[in-house]
Amino acid sequence: MTFTRLVASCLITAACAFATPSFAQNVKVGLILPMTGPFTSTGKQLVAGARLYMQLKGDTVAGKKIELVVKDDTGSRDHVVRRVRLNGEIRWRGGTVYISEALIGEPIGLMQEDDGSWSVFYDPIRLGVIAHDGDRLRKPKHQTRGRVDNASVLPTSPQVQQQQQT
């Protein structure tokens, strides 16, 4: 979804609030964004974009003024932030670590784990781990989620059906 569509949908939603009787003079549109932590720049850009959109397209709907209310999602401050370079790498401890060309120009967060390794995140998505003395990104260890990750215990799995037929 493009930013313009996001802002437009917020404004349309705000306009729909006028379908019921209201005595409010302003319509408040809430934006919960990362205003602190490793993705602060993203939050500030989104707020600036919303304000610019309102400046260009107008800040009134059905005669009522639109008011932006920005709240911080309290992003974690214990991350180290790096921006992915044009070759898909980040600078890390005097060298480079390849992350992905798909994330060129994007900020990623690195958080130190108890064992000295560093987990690499793209917002809530854990991309992998850089070992304490490592120079490359490794896949994160798979965490099992009960029956979802163990097909043999599901009653509809082919293994169970074969066992029931014999």
- Domain hosting 98: range is 80-138
What pLDDT shows up at residue 98? 92
Helix (H) or strand (E) holding 163: helix 158-165
pLDDT band with cut points at 50, 70 and 90 for residue 29: confident
Looking at the structure, tell me whether residues 27 and 64 fall in a common domain.
Answer: yes
Residue 55 has pLDDT above 80, yes or no: yes
120 versus 163: which is more confidently predicted?
120
Q: Is the pTM of the predicted complex or chain greater than 0.75?
A: no
**Is the CB of residue 87 less than 8 Å from the CB of residue 97?**
no
Gap between the Cα atoms of 127 and 87, Å rounded: 17
| Averaged pLDDT of the chain | 77
pLDDT band with cut points at 50, 70 and 90 for residue 84: very high
For the chain, how many structural domains are there in total?
A: 2
Residue 50 has pLDDT above 70, yes or no: yes
**Is the CB of residue 49 less than 8 Å from the CB of residue 3?**
yes
Looking at the structure, tell me whether residues 9 and 32 fall in a common domain.
Answer: yes
Residues of the chain with pLDDT > 90, as a percent, come to 13
Least confident interval from 22-31, 61-70, 140-149: 140-149
φ, ψ (nearest 5 deg) of residue 127 = -85, -35
45 inside domain: yes
pLDDT band with cut points at 50, 70 and 90 for residue 17: low
Looking at the structure, tell me whether residues 57 and 7 fall in a common domain.
Answer: yes
